[in-house]
Amino acid sequence: MPALVRFWSRPVGALVILIAASLVYWGGEYLARELWAPDEARFAYVSQEMRDEGDWLVPHRNGEYYAHKPPLMFWMINGAATLLAGGEINAFTARVPSLLGAIAALWSVVMLMRLWGRGRDDAAAALLCAATYLFAKQGGWGQIDMLLCGLEMLAMLALFSQDARPSAVKALAAYLCMGLAILAKGPVGLLVPLLAYLAAKLAAGEKADLRRWHWTWGPLVTLALPGVWLLLVTQNQPPAGYLDELLFSQNIDRAQGEYGHREPFYYFLTYFPIDGLPWVALSPFAWVALGGAEEDRVLRRRLAGWMILVVVFFSLSPGKRNLYILLVYPALALMVASGWRNFREGRVLEEVRKALLRIPLILLLLLFVLFLASPGLPWLAAKVAASSVSWKEDALENLELAGTFPFLHAVPGLLASLLLLLAVRRFTRTRPGSPWRFGLTWAILFATIGGVILPVLNDHKTPKELVPLVNEYVPGGGRLYFYRLNGENLALYTRTRGKNLRSPEELEQTLAEVPSGLIVFEGRFWEDLPGGLASRFTPHPFRLGGKELVAANWGTP
């Protein structure tokens, strides 16, 4: 154990241990849960099309340029596929960017704790961060947001580090990370970490640290990385409209809420208490606990400035998603871990602690009992159907849906999680107030949700019913058509190339030019087709998640 502690105390040692721990923590989900729509399947499919077409500068989807996101995520997915899976883009390789982002964020949490004189609690801070609901969820999800968070955390770590000991190399590293963050998700990769750093320093009263030369050259370094990519794009004759949509529509229109997700100003205040579970319940106590020594008060102001800036920044835009403020939760973990040793026992705090320890155990027990009872769900559905209660239709649909899932195969995983949770509680009972007792308890719950519970929904969330239809009606090398539907997940799982049709006229033209094939409609658009047009197809209705879809073939394959 002393050797492990010494190894952990080194920055490289901490990184190695975090890599191993992250693979264990999220590995069950990576291996067991398939890629789901919309984002995971979309990013995997765009990456696959990039590999197939050999166009590494401009991402494409169904043969059309994809300007919604810069290319870093797609490059990394292809890199992971090449290094780890012989070029195959699968559920694991498509999530490697998220894994790397989570590791970078956790390592940054550890190093910030050491930088701010809290090294004895650095591992606990990383554990609390990993066991925060939204952070745990996004670490297992193949989306860009965790990659973005990791790059932003590395940038802020480098900026805070060069304040303690001015270093052009550290400043350069910070701006390079922000440049990569722009290549991941656009201008927020520069604006958010830089403004969060400034807000943290100003809130802490550390204005003197802002008098640095890197402000004159650093942003130029950041912009150079996406600038080189854009230069290469322009030199290779990009598709008409690509740069305009990438640089303007996807930034200005999205900031104005033109791309959906329009939410009220207070949106993040409603999500923060949920997405910050369980540590948001301890944040008031952590704030009070850091109110003693001047060093503690400076730290809590610094972290408060960081968190408030991120929330306010994204609240100003009409378009909002809870993922946008992911950068808040490492700061929350830093605050709770820093204040933990100063917690004073009190009735309210003790009741909160008891609740935080009981909730994961209660949830896992309930899920265990529910899954054991799953063979009886169809019988219960029939009873509901025969009843006269007003809610019977919704209940019947949910119970029939639940009855189709192979719940029983998840029981061994749930049982293992329960036993592990009980073991953790037993071996940490001598230190009931330890952050490890709480962190490990919630980590087991979140790992079980990702690796055991969510994979139960694979058949419900993936278009497996479409595969035999594609094999029968789409000729070798043919396209799978989508009517007013992007359909990346459908193309991904059927291993075909997609093509979008957006109007009845395009549909008519395709029918005239292509003698046979298969096209997928949303149920509502299928019903709206003119009768003469619909009669030319043979429909095959199927469900995907909550959507009613229709696969319709025409001609003779």
pLDDT in tens, 115-129: 999 999 999 999 999
185 close to 68: Cβ distance less than 8 angstroms: no
pLDDT in tens, 5-48: 999 999 999 999 999 999 999 999 999 999 999 899 999 999 99
Mean pLDDT of all residues in 493-505: 94
Per-residue pLDDT at 383: 56
pLDDT in tens, 103-116: 999 999 999 999 99
Look at residue 389 and tell me whether its pLDDT is greater than 70: no
Range name among 256-265, 364-373, 515-524 with the lowest pLDDT average: 256-265
Between 25 and 399, the more confident residue is 25
pLDDT in tens, 281-329: 999 999 999 998 999 999 999 999 999 999 999 999 998 999 999 999 9
Question: By C-alpha distance, which of 249, 244, 245, 268 is closest to 318?
Answer: 268
User: pTM score, two decimals?
Assistant: 0.94
Radius of gyration (Cα) for the chain, nearest Å? 26
* Residue percentage of the chain with pLDDT more than 90: 79
* Residue percentage of the chain with pLDDT more than 70: 93
For 434-445, give one letter per residue: b (16+ CB within 10 A) or e. Answer: ebbbbbbbbbbb
Q: Per-residue DSSP letters for 6-36?
A: HHHHSHHHHHHHHHHHHHHHHHHHHHHSPP-
What confidence category does residue 391 fall into, taking pLDDT thresholds of 50, 70 and 90? very low
357 close to 425: Cβ distance less than 8 angstroms: yes
Per-residue pLDDT at 542: 93
Look at residue 268 and tell me whether its pLDDT is greater than 60: yes
pLDDT in tens, 249-258: 887 766 665 5
Residue with tokens 């025409």: 554
Between 431 and 404, the more confident residue is 431
Per-residue pLDDT at 428: 84
3-state secondary structure 35-87: CCCCHHHHHHHHHHHHHHHCCCCCCEECCEECCCCCCHHHHHHHHHHHHHCCC
What confidence category does residue 530 fall into, taking pLDDT thresholds of 50, 70 and 90? confident
Question: By C-alpha distance, which of 216, 215, 234 is closest to 226?
Answer: 234
Domains annotated for the chain, with CATH where assigned, are 2-340 (no CATH), 364-457 (no CATH), 466-554 (3.40.190)
Q: Is the peptide bond before 468 cis (omega within 30 degrees of 0)?
A: no
Residue with tokens 């192979």: 406
Per-residue pLDDT at 344: 77
Q: Which two tokens stand for residue 317?
A: 């835009």
**Sign of torsion over alpha carbons 298, 300, 301, 307:** positive
Per-residue pLDDT at 122: 97
Q: Which two tokens stand for residue 216?
A: 């004159």
Per-residue pLDDT at 382: 56
Question: By C-alpha distance, which of 488, 544, 520 is closest to 45?
Answer: 488
Question: By C-alpha distance, which of 336, 369, 298 is closest to 116?
Answer: 298
Question: By C-alpha distance, which of 143, 487, 118 is closest to 336?
Answer: 118
Q: Average pLDDT over the chain, rounded to whole?
A: 91
Rounded to whole angstroms, the Cα distance separating 429 from 41 reads: 43
Give, in degrees to the nearest 5, the angle at Cα 479 between 477 and 485: 160
Per-residue pLDDT at 380: 56
**Helices 435-448 and 122-130: angle between axes, nearest 10 degrees:** 30
Look at residue 407 and tell me whether its pLDDT is greater than 80: no
Rounded to whole angstroms, the Cα distance separating 58 from 55 reads: 6
Range name among 364-368, 456-460, 507-511 with the lowest pLDDT average: 456-460
Per-residue pLDDT at 393: 47
Per-residue pLDDT at 396: 43
pLDDT in tens, 324-361: 999 999 999 999 999 999 987 788 898 999 999 999 99
Please, is 27 exposed, middle or buried when counting C-beta atoms within 10 Å of its C-beta (0-12, 13-18, 19+)?
A: middle
